[in-house]
C-alpha cells in the first residue's frame, strides 16, 4: 500500500475574535449566583451575533485551509456516495411508493410504481423545490386510494413545515398550503377527502409563513386540525386543543379500518403518552358536519395519565392491540376493548432480556415483531390473536430500519443495513402462510469490499462495574499495538438505541486513514429498555459520561489506540456527551467533534421545544435538579487543566484536545446559542484570558449556513461537513493518508 506523509503544513497562529463579556448578567439559582456573560448570544438575529459568527467562521476557515486531507476526503466521500440508494416501498391500493437516490442528487426523490413489475417514475423530487437544495421533504402521507400525496417541506433544516398536496396520476399540484405545522404527521381519512395534522397558532407577527430567520421562542398550544382537500387553511376544522395544558404535543393517526382517529398526547420526549380516540363512524354528519361549528371532536380519553407508553398496533372493531411499557420496561403487547376500558390483558408478555422495539399487523391475523437483543435485531412472525410464535425470520447481525406492510397486504418489505452491509430491502411474501424472504433490492457501493473489514461487539466495564456493549469496526487483522487512530461515537439519551448502520464516511476513515471506528451503547439509550434509559438520565446522567470515558480507556488499554489518537464524536445529546467528557477528562482524547450540542443545561428549556427534554435532564428551576445540572453543564464546567484542583487526570496533559464545535444557523431544535456560548467560554477561559496559555490546540466552530439540526441536508452539505470535520481530526492527530 502506498502511503503519503502526514499533513505537514503547520496550523496558523490562532487569534480568536474577542467576545463581549457582560458582567451584569448573574442569575440566582436557589441561592447560587451563576454569571452568564454571553447571554447576548441568544439574540441570534442581532448584528453583534452575526459579526461574531462571521469572525469565528474566518478562524475555522484558516484552520481548515491547512488540513491537507480535506480535498482527498471530499473526493473519496463523493465517489463512495455515488451509488443508487433505496428505501423500502409502501403500498396504497396496488400502487407502490418509495424513496430513491440514483447517486449524488441533493435529496432522495419519491417514486411511484403501478404494480410490483411496473415502470417507476419520479413523483416528487425535492431538489426541484429550491435553487440551492435547502428545501427538503420532511413528511409524506398518501391517501388510501393512492390518488393524492400530501407532503411537508422544510426550509434550511428547520422544524417548521409547510404541507402541500399533489394529485398522483398527473402530478397536478393543488392550491392547498398549510403553514405553521410542527411535530405533526399526515393522517388521511379512509374516504380520501382530507387529513388530520397538528400545528401551532401563527405568531402575532405572522406574515403567512415562517420567515427566513430562526425563531427561538417557546412552542406552546399545539392544535389538531382536519383539512378538506381543495380548501383554504382558514376553513380547516379545529379537532382538538387544550389551553389548560399549553405544553402538550398531539400526534393524530387513523386506524387502518378508517373507523377511528387516535390522538397520542405527550408532554416531553419521555416514552410516555396519553391515548385518546374518536369514533369517526359515529359522527352524525361525518367530519363535514363539524365544519363551521367550532366544536371539537368528541375524543374519548382511553388513557389519561402520563404513566407509560401506548402505541396502537391494530384494532378489530373496539378491540385494540397496543405496544406498551406499562409495568414492562422492555415493552409488551396488550389488548383492551374500548367499550370496557378496564379490560386490559397481555397478548405478548415482556421478554426476559430482549426489548420489543416494533410490532406491525400484517396479512389479516399476523404480527411481524422486531426485538433488540444485546443490540442485535431478531425478527419474528406471531399470531395477532394470541401472540404465539409462528416463525422466526432469519436476518444477519445489523439493523431493521423499517417495516412496511398493512393487514390488507400479503407482502411486507423489510429494510436492513449493518456496518458492512450498505442496505438490503427484503420482500417477505406471506401468502402461503410461511414467510418467504427474498432480496427485493440490494444496495452495492462500488469500491467498497466488505471482506477487507470486520465488525465485532465487545463488552467493557464502566466506572461502577456495569458491562457496556460497544461495536468496533476496523480493517481485518490489525495489530493491537496502540498505534491506530480511533473514532468513538456515542449518544446515550432519550431511550435512543445506537444500532449498526452503514456509513460511507466511516469506510473512508478506515480505508484511507487507518481508523478504528467504534459505537458505544452507553446508558441513557434504549438498548436494554427503559431501565437502561433511566440509568443514564436525571440524577443518573453522570453514568453516560462515565460509560463513554470508560469506552475510551478500554480502547487504549486493549491496544486499539492511544489518547493522542482517540477522537470522540456525538450530536445533539451526543454533543453534550462529548463536551462534558472533554471537561471531565481532557487528557484522554486527541480530538473532539461535538455537533449541535445542548451546552447550557441551565437554560435549554427556554427555547423552542427544549422544555420537552426535562424528562431526561431535569430543569434548573427545581433546586434538586439544578444541583445535578450545574455539576456537568458543559458551559459551566470549563476549567484550566494545568491549574491545580482542575480535576480529572493524574497523568493529565496540560490542555484540552483540539475541538471542533458544529452548529447551523437555522437549528431551531438545539438553538445555535448553545454552541456559541460554549465556544466563547472555552476560548476565554483556556486562551484569551491567559498570558502565554498552554492551550495551543485549536478550539474552533463550524457554523453551517441555511441548515438546521441535521435533517434535510443535501448530499453535498453532508459530504462537505464530513470532509471538514474528519480532515480537522486527521490534521490535529497527525494521521497519514493511505492510498
Q: Give the least confident one: 179-183, 191-195, 283-287, 723-727.
A: 283-287
What nine digits make up the cell of 317?
A: 372493531
Active site residue ranges? 572, 667, 709
Question: What band does 213 get if pLDDT is binned at 50, 70 and 90?
Answer: low
Question: What band does 217 get if pLDDT is binned at 50, 70 and 90?
Answer: confident
Give pLDDT, residue 288.
Answer: 78
Mean pLDDT of 532-559: 98
- DSSP code of residue 327: T
Residues 698, 659: Cα–Cα separation, whole Å? 6
Residue 278 has pLDDT above 60, yes or no: yes
Question: What band does 490 get if pLDDT is binned at 50, 70 and 90?
Answer: very high
Give the rounded percent of residues in the chain with a pLDDT score beyond 70: 96
Mean pLDDT of 218-237: 94
Rg over alpha carbons for the chain, rounded to the nearest Å, is 26
Question: What band does 156 get if pLDDT is binned at 50, 70 and 90?
Answer: confident
Q: For 625-635, write each residue's pLDDT tens digit.
A: 999 999 999 99
Question: What band does 543 get if pLDDT is binned at 50, 70 and 90?
Answer: very high
Give pLDDT, residue 225.
Answer: 97
Residue 639 has pLDDT above 50, yes or no: yes
Question: What band does 479 get if pLDDT is binned at 50, 70 and 90?
Answer: very high
Mean pLDDT of 573-597: 97
Q: Give the least confident one: 86-95, 131-140, 384-393, 472-481.
A: 131-140
- DSSP code of residue 710: B
Least Cα distance to 488 among 476, 469, 471, 507 occurs for 471
Q: Which residue has the higher pLDDT, 441 or 292?
A: 441
Give pLDDT, residue 665.
Answer: 84
Question: What band does 1 get if pLDDT is binned at 50, 70 and 90?
Answer: very low
Q: Give the least confident one: 163-177, 291-305, 469-483, 485-499.
A: 291-305
Mean pLDDT of 548-571: 98
Q: How far is CA 546 from CA 49, 466, 524, 600, in A?
A: 35, 10, 12, 20
- DSSP code of residue 201: P
Residues 432, 2: Cα–Cα separation, whole Å? 55
Residue 207 has pLDDT above 60, yes or no: no
Residue 2 has pLDDT above 90, yes or no: no
Residue 218 has pLDDT above 50, yes or no: yes
Residues 551, 540: Cα–Cα separation, whole Å? 18
C-beta of residue 546 within 8 angstroms of C-beta of residue 584: no
Give pLDDT, residue 642.
Answer: 95
Residues 333, 326: Cα–Cα separation, whole Å? 10
What nine digits make up the cell of 524?
A: 441513557
Q: How far is CA 339 from CA 308, 319, 589, in A?
A: 21, 8, 59
Q: How far is CA 400 from CA 372, 379, 645, in A?
A: 10, 9, 47
Mean pLDDT of 658-678: 92
Residue 652 has pLDDT above 50, yes or no: no
Angle at 631 between CA 627 and CA 633, to 5 degrees: 110
Give pLDDT, residue 666.
Answer: 80
Q: Give the least confident one: 223-232, 428-437, 448-457, 507-516.
A: 428-437
Residue 681 has pLDDT above 60, yes or no: yes
Question: What band does 647 get if pLDDT is binned at 50, 70 and 90?
Answer: low
Mean pLDDT of 263-273: 94
Helix (H) or strand (E) holding 75: helix 70-81
C-beta of residue 413 within 8 angstroms of C-beta of residue 440: yes
- What dihedral angle (degrees, nearest 10) is formed by the CA atoms of 63, 51, 611, 603? 90
Question: What band does 651 get if pLDDT is binned at 50, 70 and 90?
Answer: very low
Dihedral sign, Cα of residue 457, residue 459, residue 462, residue 467: positive
Q: For 285-294, write each residue's pLDDT tens digit.
A: 788 777 766 7
Mean pLDDT of the chain: 94
Give pLDDT, residue 350.
Answer: 98
CB count within 10 Å of CB 262 equals 22
C-beta of residue 470 within 8 angstroms of C-beta of residue 489: no
Q: For 86-132, write each residue's pLDDT tens digit.
A: 999 999 999 999 999 999 999 999 999 999 889 999 999 999 998 98
Mean pLDDT of 592-605: 97
Q: For 375-386, write each residue's pLDDT tens digit.
A: 999 999 999 999
Mean pLDDT of 471-475: 98
Question: What band does 134 get if pLDDT is binned at 50, 70 and 90?
Answer: confident
Residue 7 has pLDDT above 50, yes or no: no
- The model's pTM: 0.93
Q: Which residue has the cell 480530538?
A: 591
Q: Which residue has the higher pLDDT, 407 or 713?
A: 407
Domains located in the chain, CATH noted = 26-79+449-642+649-733 (3.40.50.1820)
Amino acid at each position: 500500500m502506498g502511503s503519503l506523509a502526514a499533513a505537514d503544513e503547520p496550523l496558523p497562529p490562532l487569534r480568536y475574535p474577542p467576545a463581549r463579556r457582560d458582567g451584569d448578567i448573574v442569575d440566582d439559582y436557589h441561592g447560587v449566583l451563576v454569571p452568564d456573560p454571553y447571554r447576548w448570544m441568544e439574540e441570534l438575529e442581532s448584528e453583534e451575533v452575526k459579526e461574531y459568527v462571521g469572525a469565528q467562521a474566518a478562524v475555522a476557515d484558516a484552520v481548515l485551509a491547512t488540513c491537507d486531507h480535506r480535498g482527498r476526503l471530499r473526493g473519496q466521500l463523493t465517489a463512495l456516495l455515488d451509488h443508487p440508494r433505496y428505501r423500502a416501498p409502501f403500498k396504497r391500493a396496488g400502487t407502490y411508493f418509495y424513496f430513491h437516490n440514483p447517486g449524488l442528487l441533493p435529496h432522495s426523490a419519491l417514486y411511484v410504481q403501478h404494480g410490483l413489475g411496473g415502470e417507476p417514475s419520479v413523483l416528487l423530487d425535492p431538489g426541484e423545490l429550491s435553487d440551492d437544495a435547502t428545501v427538503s421533504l420532511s413528511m409524506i402521507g398518501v391517501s388510501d386510494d393512492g390518488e393524492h400525496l400530501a407532503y411537508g417541506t422544510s426550509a434550511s433544516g428547520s422544524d417548521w413545515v409547510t404541507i402541500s398536496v399533489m394529485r398522483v396520476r398527473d402530478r397536478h399540484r393543488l392550491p392547498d398550503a398549510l403553514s405553521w405545522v410542527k411535530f405533526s404527521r399526515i393522517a388521511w381519512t379512509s374516504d380520501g377527502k382530507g387529513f388530520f395534522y397538528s400545528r401551532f397558532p401563527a405568531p402575532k407577527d405572522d406574515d403567512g409563513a415562517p420567515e427566513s430567520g430562526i425563531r427561538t421562542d417557546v412552542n406552546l398550544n399545539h392544535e389538531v386540525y382536519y383539512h378538506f382537500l381543495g380548501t383554504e387553511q382558514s376553513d380547516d376544522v379545529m379537532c382538538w386543543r387544550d389551553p389548560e395544558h399549553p405544553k402538550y404535543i398531539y400526534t393524530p393517526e387513523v386506524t387502518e379500518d378508517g373507523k377511528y382517529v387516535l390522538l397520542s398526547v405527550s408532554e416531553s420526549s419521555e416514552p410516555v403518552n396519553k391515548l385518546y380516540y374518536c369514533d369517526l363512524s359515529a359522527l352524525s354528519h361525518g367530519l363535514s358536519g363539524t365544519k363551521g361549528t367550532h366544536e371539537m371532536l368528541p375524543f374519548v380519553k382511553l388513557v389519561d395519565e402520563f404513566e407509560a407508553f401506548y402505541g396502537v398496533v391494530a384494532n378489530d372493531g373496539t378491540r385494540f392491540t397496543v405496544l406498551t411499557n406499562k409495568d414492562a420496561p422492555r415493552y409488551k403487547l396488550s389488548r383492551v376493548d374500548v367499550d370496557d376500558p378496564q379490560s386490559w390483558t397481555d397478548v405478548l408478555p415482556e421478554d426476559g432480556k430482549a426489548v420489543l422495539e416494533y410490532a406491525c399487523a400484517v396479512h389479516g391475523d399476523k404480527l411481524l415483531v422486531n426485538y433488540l437483543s444485546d443490540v442485535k435485531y431478531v425478527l419474528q412472525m406471531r399470531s395477532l390473536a394470541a401472540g404465539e410464535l409462528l416463525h422466526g425470520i432469519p436476518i444477519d447481525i445489523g439493523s431493521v430500519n423499517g417495516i412496511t406492510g398493512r393487514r390488507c397486504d400479503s407482502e411486507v418489505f423489510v429494510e436492513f443495513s449493518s456496518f458492512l452491509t450498505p442496505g438490503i430491502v427484503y420482500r417477505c411474501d406471506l401468502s402461503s402462510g410461511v414467510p418467504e424472504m427474498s432480496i427485493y433490492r440490494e444496495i452495492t457501493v462500488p469500491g467498497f469490499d466488505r471482506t477487507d473489514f470486520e465488525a465485532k461487539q465487545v463488552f467493557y466495564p464502566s466506572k461502577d462495574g456495569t458491562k457496556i456493549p460497544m461495536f468496533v469496526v476496523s480493517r481485518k487483522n490489525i495489530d493491537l499495538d496502540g498505534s491506530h487512530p480511533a473514532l468513538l461515537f456515542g449518544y446515550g439519551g432519550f431511550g435512543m438505541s445506537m444500532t449498526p448502520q452503514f456509513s460511507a464516511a466511516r469506510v473512508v476513515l478506515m480505508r484511507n486513514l487507518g481508523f478504528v471506528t467504534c459505537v458505544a451503547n452507553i446508558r441513557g439509550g434504549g438498548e436494554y429498555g427503559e431501565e437502561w434509559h433511566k440509568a443514564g438520565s436525571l440524577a443518573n446522567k453522570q453514568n453516560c459520561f462515565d460509560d463513554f470515558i470508560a469506552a475510551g480507556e478500554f480502547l487504549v488499554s486493549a491496544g486499539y489506540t492511544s489518547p493522542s489518537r482517540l477522537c470522540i464524536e456525538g450530536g445533539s445529546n451526543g454533543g453534550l456527551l462529548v463536551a462534558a467528557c472533554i471537561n471531565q477528562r481532557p487528557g484522554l482524547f486527541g480530538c473532539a467533534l461535538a455537533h449541535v450540542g445542548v451546552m447550557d443545561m441551565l437554560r435549554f428549556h427556554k427555547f423552542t421545544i427544549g422544555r420537552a427534554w426535562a424528562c431526561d435532564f431535569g430543569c434548573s428551576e427545581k433546586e434538586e435538579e439544578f444541583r445535578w445540572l450545574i455539576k456537568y453543564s458543559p458551559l459551566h464546567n470549563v476549567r484550566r487543566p494545568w491549574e491545580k484542583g482542575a480535576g480529572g487526570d493524574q497523568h493529565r496533559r496540560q490542555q484540552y484536545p483540539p475541538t471542533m464545535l458544529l452548529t447551523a444557523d437555522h437549528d431551531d431544535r438545539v438553538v445555535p446559542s448553545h454552541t456559541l456560548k460554549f465556544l466563547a467560554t472555552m476560548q476565554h477561559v483556556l486562551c484569551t484570558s491567559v498570558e502565554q496559555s498552554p492551550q495551543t490546540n485549536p478550539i474552533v466552530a463550524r457554523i453551517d449556513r441555511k441548515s438546521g439540526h441535521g435533517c434535510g441536508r443535501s448530499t453535498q452539505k453532508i459530504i462537505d461537513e464530513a470532509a471538514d470535520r474528519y480532515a480537522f481530526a486527521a490534521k490535529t492527530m497527525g494521521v497519514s493518508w493511505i492510498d
